[in-house]
Structure 1
Amino acid sequence: MLRVLRRGAAGLEAATPTPGWRPPEDAIWVDLLSPSRREELAVEEALGLQLPTREEMAEIELSSRLYQAHGGTFMTATLLARRGEQWRTDAPVTFVLLKGLLISIRYDELRAFDLFAERAHGLDVETGTQALFHLLDAGIERLADLLEKTAADVESVSAAIFRRPKGAQFEALLTELARAQSLTSMTRNSLVSLARLLSFASLAEEIASDPECRAHLRSLQRDDQSLTEHAGFQSSHIAFLLDAALGLINIEQNGIIKFFSVAAVILMPPTLVASVYGMNFHNMPELNWRFGYPMALSLMAMSAVVPIVWFRRRGWF
């Protein structure tokens, strides 16, 4: 899909690539969403660029993500796209600044892009550089919202771990922690890629020559850095909660094993007495004794009571 944002327009307009197609004179943003090869060729021919392929956008080398060529500045970042109700996946997005025009290439629906397109008219966006900054603002704001939601979920799990009734199951809590850790890790990965993009963006002529753009860029860098630090702290907190949950599981398992160990020790002496008097040898003195049976029962009871009393005094039972 090929869409264009024109100066003063209320939103993105769909464009059909025809032979000799050119972006409008007042275009400030050309958005390629899952473009066809025909759309890619039309944009490349119109602007004199060679756009990166989807495979090149997914590479992690800086030389493949951040470079200048054909008079344009190419910058690729990894954002988060929602898939289904819960899971999100890494979504590479390439931004190209070329003489005041912004070109974006992506293969996933991104809520931040849609929000900016709806608010572009009210934001009074005049150039592609301003459009880039507003898109990055929206992307960072989206990541901040994800971190806030994840932090709230983690606090809820934390309260459930330490206040849960004895014997409650841990499976659901561990699943929630794993989900939160995965999302936090992907968010931090996205923030790191944005930090690299923001650092490289200062080399673009459109930004380097404009003091207002440089100030906006520094503001974005500070926001990104603070969120990266917060994501790192949150990841450490989740790791602590995971260790705490596993520790509580081990404590409960040790308690169960301890109970059965004590029970086995208590039952061992009576079992020994019963085994001795269950042999029924002919020359056993107590075999024909009138009080042999009560004596054996009393001996078994005493041999069971003595370990119980001793364990209680030691605080083991």
Structure 2
Amino acid sequence: MLKTLRRGHRAPQPEDAGPDWRPAEDLVWIDLLKPTKAEELAVEAALGLQLPTVEEMQALEPSSRLYQECGGTFMTATLLARSHADAPFPTPVTFVLAKGLLVTLRYEELKAFSIFAERAPESDFASGTAALLGLMDAIVERLARTLDDMGDKVQIASNAIFNRPKGGNFRPLLTDLSQAQSVTSLTRGSLNSLARTLSYAALASEIAADPECRAHLEALQRDVQSLTEHASYQSSHIAFLLDAALGLINIEQNGIIKFFSVVAVVFMPPTLIASIYGMNFDVLPELHWKAGYPLALLSMLVAAAIPVLWFKRRGWL
């Protein structure tokens, strides 16, 4: 799908990109979402550029992700898709600044792009550079929102861990923390990728020649750096909570084992006494005592009380 945004227009509009397609004079943004081969070829022919392939977008080498070619600045960042779904995942997005236009190439729906498209009528971007910086604002804001949402989930889990009743189920808490850790880690990876993209964007002639754009870009870099540090702290906090939850599980399990161990030791001497007088021997003089039965019961109680008193003196009970 190919959408374009023009100056003064309310929102990006879809266009049919045929062989003779050419960008309008007031065009500022071309958005390629899961483009067909015909749409890619039409944009490349119209702008005189060679858009990267999916393999190049996913490559780790900076020369494949960040480069300048044919008068255009190509920047590929790995962003987080479906951050609030059950299975978020990273996806590459390419930003191209060329001939006063912004071209974006992506293969997944991203909430930040929808937010940017909704704001476009109010901002009235005058150039592709302004559109790029506005889009970066929306992406950073979206990543910040994701971290805040994960932080709220972590706080709820933290309160539940340290204020839960004994014997409560830890499984939902561990599941929530594991998901928060995964999303936070993916968000941090996106922020690192975005930081490299913003650093390279400063080399674009459209930004280097405009002091206002440079100031805007520096503000974005500071925001990304701050969010990266926050993501690192949040990740370490989640790791601490996971360790605390596992520690509490071990404490509860040790308490259960301790209880059964004490019960076993307490009942072991009475069981021994009962076993002795339950043996089928003819010569057991106590069997004929009138006081034999109460003495046996008393012996059992004394034998059970002695381990209990000893455990209490040692502080085990």
Whether these two folds match at TM > 0.5 is yes
Deviation (angstroms), 1:308? 1.3
What is the CA–CA distance in structure 2 between the aligned matches of 1:84 and 1:245, rounded to whole Å?
24
1:207 alignment counterpart: 207
SS state at 2:177 partner: helix
Q: Which amino acid aligns with 1:132?
A: L
1:5 alignment counterpart: 5
2:241 alignment counterpart: 241
Task: Using structure 1 for the length normalisation, give the TM-score.
Answer: 0.95
Q: 1:20 to 1:190 in 2, by over 3 A?
A: same
Q: Which amino acid aligns with 2:232?
A: G
What is the CA–CA distance in structure 2 between the aligned matches of 1:56 and 1:277, rounded to whole Å?
85
Q: Summarize the alignment of residues 145-164 of structure 1 with structure 2, pairs less than 5 Å apart.
A: 145-164=145-164
Q: CA RMSD in A?
A: 1.6
1:227 alignment counterpart: 227
Q: Which amino acid aligns with 2:59?
A: E
1:218 alignment counterpart: 218
Is 1:251 matched up with 2:237? no
Q: Summarize the alignment of residues 18-97 of structure 1 with structure 2, pairs less than 5 Å apart.
A: 18-82=18-82, 85-97=85-97
Contact 2:83–2:183, Cα closer than 8 Å, also in 1: no
1:269 alignment counterpart: 269
> Which stretch of structure 1 is more off in the superposition, 239-248 or 131-140?
239-248
What is the CA–CA distance in structure 2 between the aligned matches of 1:88 and 1:182, rounded to whole Å?
9
2:308 alignment counterpart: 308
Deviation (angstroms), 1:58? 2.0
> Which stretch of structure 1 is more off in the superposition, 55-64 or 7-16?
55-64
What is the CA–CA distance in structure 1 between the aligned matches of 2:83 and 2:222, rounded to whole Å?
29
Show structure 1 runs of 5+ residues with no match: none
SS state at 1:51 partner: coil
Aligned length: 317
Show structure 2 runs of 5+ residues with no match: none
Task: Using structure 2 for the length normalisation, give the TM-score.
Answer: 0.95
Contact 1:99–1:206, Cα closer than 8 Å, also in 2: no
Deviation (angstroms), 1:84? 7.5
Deviation (angstroms), 1:276? 2.3
What is the CA–CA distance in structure 1 between the aligned matches of 2:139 and 2:270, rounded to whole Å?
72
> Which stretch of structure 1 is more off in the superposition, 179-188 or 129-138?
179-188
Contact 2:34–2:106, Cα closer than 8 Å, also in 1: yes
Is 1:102 matched up with 2:82? no
Deviation (angstroms), 1:287? 4.0
Q: Which amino acid aligns with 1:133?
A: L
Q: Which amino acid aligns with 1:200?
A: Y
> Which stretch of structure 1 is more off in the superposition, 83-92 or 120-129?
83-92
Is 1:140 matched up with 2:140? yes
What is the CA–CA distance in structure 2 between the aligned matches of 1:228 and 1:234, rounded to whole Å?
10
What is the CA–CA distance in structure 1 between the aligned matches of 2:190 and 2:211, rounded to whole Å?
27
Q: Which amino acid aligns with 1:162?
A: F
What is the CA–CA distance in structure 1 between the aligned matches of 2:27 and 2:96, rounded to whole Å?
14
What is the CA–CA distance in structure 2 between the aligned matches of 1:158 and 1:192, rounded to whole Å?
27
What is the CA–CA distance in structure 2 between the aligned matches of 1:280 and 1:300, rounded to whole Å?
20
